[in-house]
Structure 1
């Protein structure tokens, strides 16, 4: 009997000794300041067997809402040799929707439950379905999709602005004659980078007709911010220079100003009110570089 027990014990020890421990997650170190391209360090080729999601630092802003827009800066490397594949820090951030359908399984899992201001790390294996696929290391900064800062009391005679839960504005017409000059009225004063002449900006905005308060154009309809060169809208080019990222600005544009892409026959002779949330600004020289700005796809 003792020999049988000893044999069983030895067999059990043998099985334990031969079992394969779970592989440790790959060691990837992310450094760098918020808003700046990260430095990512790891041994190459990086061995990745399953997706890894890590928080480099937590966000302090609003929690991301499932099915709603997110705004991302990202840095994506081929983990087989640490080469840069694409990034947005030197161009413009990328808007996406917080859905698995839009982001893919891995990226959706990385972003779910996070807050604005977070820096996140995603490590993904090569796709089994694609022979040319490679493992990837992605760093993501979660940016605001609406203005945030110190409220500023509007001057007398300006339309009152009301925001819905998402941040989309509406205005109440004043019933008075519009100003004859361009008016720039900060409603929320942000603390980010100041807009410079010729910058490429990322914004949420709505345009209203002064006389009726009716909206004629809005990014909030689809929910996602948009990016374009400041010079594309001459009135904005004058109004938004030196305004800070994070600000919400009301711009009242008399009919003597060209509205660029938003100009239409219906608006001819009308005074226009824009309510603009400034979310990012980048110099035109860097934004024009050939860095791809489509956000990385998850698996």
Structure 2
């Protein structure tokens, strides 16, 4: 009987050791920062549990629970390496950093990381639903506010004050508003330049020149937005501004504001303070 118990105990211990030392799925991630990743692995990939890996550490601000996080992502079906969905050919995705908004696995991948990180998540098939296959996902964590070298603005423009989260406010200027469109960098970023016709991802607030009061803001909605520059014609002057920049646009009433135009703003000079977070060619229709 003693030998039988010892044999059983040895079998249990060996099984436990085997489970601990079982190799993780082998996935190689290559590619430069700011560009889509390339994933290399043998299909079908055997995945028994969710794996979280850091491809490279971020050097930017730490992610904060409950606050917006902005990511580019690349998601493949690990059974055959086909691309299921990705954001590099369109625009990055904003989400609050919560389990409710991201799900537990994605939250665990992003929690505790910093802006600039590239992350890898390997997940088994959920066992139910339409996506019944293992997945490999790469996530690039992008900034949700401008960062770079401060630029001294020209005289006569409204002073800008930033909150702890990066949200801007202005002090109404006593000077007469300019009659021409003004494009004034406030922070000079170091990213890719905005090109004509791009889709840009931004944080912004719009203010009335005369009062300094905001009339709309992504900071209030707690989420960056992406749109084609042609949607707001006055914003075409963002072309050649680098990602990471904060730019003030002063828009006289003679310039069309596209979807931003409203009855109460007609005849007024508008001030936009815009953080450029990402840019890329507009998706091809069809």
Q: Deviations over 1:31-89 (max 9, x none)?
A: 11111111111111111111100000000000000000011100000001111101011
Aligned equivalent of 1:219: 218
Write out aligned runs for 1:33-112 (5 A). 33-112=32-111
Give, in angstroms, the shift of residue 24 of structure 1: 1.8
Aligned equivalent of 1:204: 203
CA distance in 1, matches of 2:201, 2:271: 18
Aligned equivalent of 2:138: 139
CA distance in 2, matches of 1:161, 1:278: 16
- The runs of 5 or more residues in structure 2 that have no matched partner are none
Q: Structure 1 107/175 Cα, relative in aligned 2: closer, same or farther at 3 Å?
A: same
Aligned equivalent of 1:192: 191
More displaced stretch, 129-138 vs 272-281: 129-138
CA distance in 2, matches of 1:82, 1:109: 23
CA distance in 2, matches of 1:19, 1:176: 75
CA distance in 2, matches of 1:184, 1:95: 26
Q: Structure 1 13/173 Cα, relative in aligned 2: closer, same or farther at 3 Å?
A: closer
Q: Secondary structure in 1 aligned to 2:119?
A: strand
Q: Structure 1 212/31 Cα, relative in aligned 2: closer, same or farther at 3 Å?
A: same
CA distance in 2, matches of 1:186, 1:179: 16
Q: Secondary structure in 2 aligned to 1:75?
A: strand
Write out aligned runs for 1:285-296 (5 A). 287-288=283-284
Structure 1 segments of 4 or more deviating over 2 A? 4-20, 128-132, 287-290
- Give yes or no for the alignment of 1:236 onto 2:225: no
Aligned equivalent of 1:295: none
Q: Structure 1 44/257 Cα, relative in aligned 2: closer, same or farther at 3 Å?
A: same
Q: Secondary structure in 1 aligned to 2:234?
A: helix
Q: Structure 1 173/130 Cα, relative in aligned 2: closer, same or farther at 3 Å?
A: same
TM-score, with normalisation over the residues of structure 2?
0.94
Tell whether the 8 Å contact from 1:45 to 1:80 is kept in structure 2 after alignment.
yes
- Give yes or no for the alignment of 1:263 onto 2:261: yes
Q: Structure 1 134/268 Cα, relative in aligned 2: closer, same or farther at 3 Å?
A: same
CA distance in 2, matches of 1:11, 1:192: 61
CA distance in 2, matches of 1:28, 1:282: 28
Tell whether the 8 Å contact from 1:247 to 1:277 is kept in structure 2 after alignment.
yes
In angstroms, what is the RMSD of aligned CA positions?
1.8
Q: Secondary structure in 1 aligned to 2:271?
A: strand
TM-score, with normalisation over the residues of structure 1?
0.90
Q: Structure 1 12/81 Cα, relative in aligned 2: closer, same or farther at 3 Å?
A: same
Aligned equivalent of 2:252: 254
Q: Deviations over 1:233-286 (max 9, x none)?
A: 11111x2111110000000000000000100010011000000000111012xx
More displaced stretch, 72-81 vs 125-134: 125-134
CA distance in 2, matches of 1:289, 1:25: 40
Q: Structure 1 181/131 Cα, relative in aligned 2: closer, same or farther at 3 Å?
A: closer
Tell whether the 8 Å contact from 1:91 to 1:289 is kept in structure 2 after alignment.
no
Q: Secondary structure in 2 aligned to 1:274?
A: strand
Q: Structure 1 132/280 Cα, relative in aligned 2: closer, same or farther at 3 Å?
A: closer
Aligned equivalent of 1:170: 169
CA distance in 2, matches of 1:131, 1:161: 49
